[in-house]
Structure 1
Amino acid sequence: MKYRLEWYYKVKSSEKVQCSSDWVAGELAVQMGEELEATGKVMDLYFYDEKGTSWILKEMKKLLTEIEDDPHEITVYFDGGFHKETNQAGLGAVIFFKQGKKKYRIRANERFEEMESNNEAEYAAFYYTLNILEDLGVHHLSCEFKGDSQGVLKQLEGEWPCYEETLNRWLDRIEVKMKALGLLPKYTVIPRKDNKEADKLATQALEGKEIFAKTLIL
């Protein structure tokens, strides 16, 4: 989750100027807040998250202590592969997140039966990532989802219409899961070359190679 600081700065003329920061990570936000308050020239300092919830510095410190062991700063890569001859899909997911002060990566895949198209496989891959996030205990956080399927991401964003009944069912399922987890999603379309790891996992799933690995990133 990113946070923005807003405060009033007192100048020599006894006037005050309203100021705000860029969106920053929680630890940096607290550090900035402490340094601002140390000047003695700051009043009405508040921290806002991406949902608009606000805290004072004391509450913000308590919040970060409470969520320190929960997964946060989450980035998800997903991809779906499809075999027309067998109607099978390979679902690939790569998830980066922080837990405490450590950063982890999860690589996972799954084979899925009875698919109708490559687009459906992409939707199934996205939903697969949500199930992994749920198992991790991710909730009420911002998450960035990256993939090379522009159509799927634009439809999830609501920018492009979806006319296929099968895909609309996946859209509904994803929206229900997203709401249940309280996620604040950001969708980013990336070139295929930047999604090679998720693509490889999807291919391996189609080949019958099941993978689920959590790695500490040093």
Structure 2
Amino acid sequence: MNVSIRWLYKTPRNQETRFESQEMPLERALLFVEDIERTGRAHQIELIDGRGSNWTVKEAKRYLKEVEVEPHNVCIFFDGGYKRETGEAGLGCVIYYEQNGKSYRLRQNAFVEGFTSNNEAEFAALHLALQELEFLGAKGIPVEIRGDSQVVLQHMIEDWEIMDPTLASWGRRVDQKLDHMKLQPEYHKIPRHKNNEANRLATQALKGIPVAAEIELVQ
């Protein structure tokens, strides 16, 4: 979860002004808070998350302690591929997350038949990613969702209404999964070249190459 820090600064002569930092990961923000507190001149320190909710320092520390043993700082990449001639689709997703002080990357793809469009494959790839996240035990946390499908992302942000009943049904399935897991999605549209991992997984699925892998990322 990314947050910004907001605080009231008072000089020895009791002059005061307010400051607000740029957004940063919560863990890093708390390190800055500790340093700011040591000056003895910072008051009313609070943290603001991406949804505009305010957190006290105590609440933020308790939250970090609670999520440490569960997946958090989750970022999903998804992509779908489609063969019009056969109705075959390849789904690909990559999930980056942290747990117990370590960082991980999970890659998963799937081959499916009977699809009607590339957009359906894109929705299904996002749903696949959420299923994998559910298997990891993630719940009640912010999740970054990144993809290059304008149709999927604009629909999920509710900027676009989809008239196609098949795609609308997939949108509802994604929403239901998010609600069931109590996730707080943050959608980001990215250029195709920044979605290479998920795209490669979707392509491999279409070629009959299954991938299901998870590794610890060593910094």
- 2:91 aligned with 1:91: yes
1:148-175: CA deviation from partner (whole Å, max 9, x where unpaired): 2222212222222211111111111111
1:90-117: CA deviation from partner (whole Å, max 9, x where unpaired): 1101111122332211110111232111
SS in 1 for 2:92: strand
TM-score scaled by structure 1?
0.91
- 2:177 aligned with 1:192: no
Aligned to 1:160: 160
Aligned to 2:212: 212
Aligned to 1:137: 137
SS in 2 for 1:40: coil
Shift of 1:37: 1.2
User: In 1, Cα distance between the equivalents of 2:58 and 2:142?
Assistant: 22
- 2:198 aligned with 1:201: no
Decide whether aligned partners of structure 1 residues 151 and 69 sit closer, same or farther in structure 2, where only a CA change above 3 A counts.
same
Shift of 1:213: 0.3
Shift of 1:129: 0.7
Aligned to 2:183: 183
- Stretches of structure 1 lacking an aligned partner (at least 5 in a row): none
User: In 1, Cα distance between the equivalents of 2:154 and 2:98?
Assistant: 27
Aligned to 1:2: 2
- Stretches of structure 2 lacking an aligned partner (at least 5 in a row): none
User: In 2, Cα distance between the equivalents of 1:56 and 1:139?
Assistant: 22
Shift of 1:53: 4.2
Shift of 1:85: 3.0
More divergent stretch after superposition (156-165 vs 119-128) = 156-165
User: In 2, Cα distance between the equivalents of 1:32 and 1:207?
Assistant: 49
User: In 2, Cα distance between the equivalents of 1:46 and 1:77?
Assistant: 31
- 2:11 aligned with 1:11: yes
- 2:149 aligned with 1:149: yes
Equivalent pairs, count? 218
Matched to 1:198, the amino acid is A
SS in 1 for 2:163: coil
Matched to 2:91, the amino acid is L
**CA RMSD between the two structures:** 1.8
Shift of 1:7: 1.9
1:180-204: CA deviation from partner (whole Å, max 9, x where unpaired): 2222222222222222221221122
Shift of 1:11: 2.0
Matched to 2:134, the amino acid is E
Shift of 1:60: 2.5
Shift of 1:61: 2.3
Shift of 1:80: 0.8
Matched to 1:185, the amino acid is P
Matched to 2:185, the amino acid is P
User: In 1, Cα distance between the equivalents of 2:63 and 2:190?
Assistant: 33
Aligned to 2:46: 46
Aligned to 2:60: 60
SS in 2 for 1:119: helix
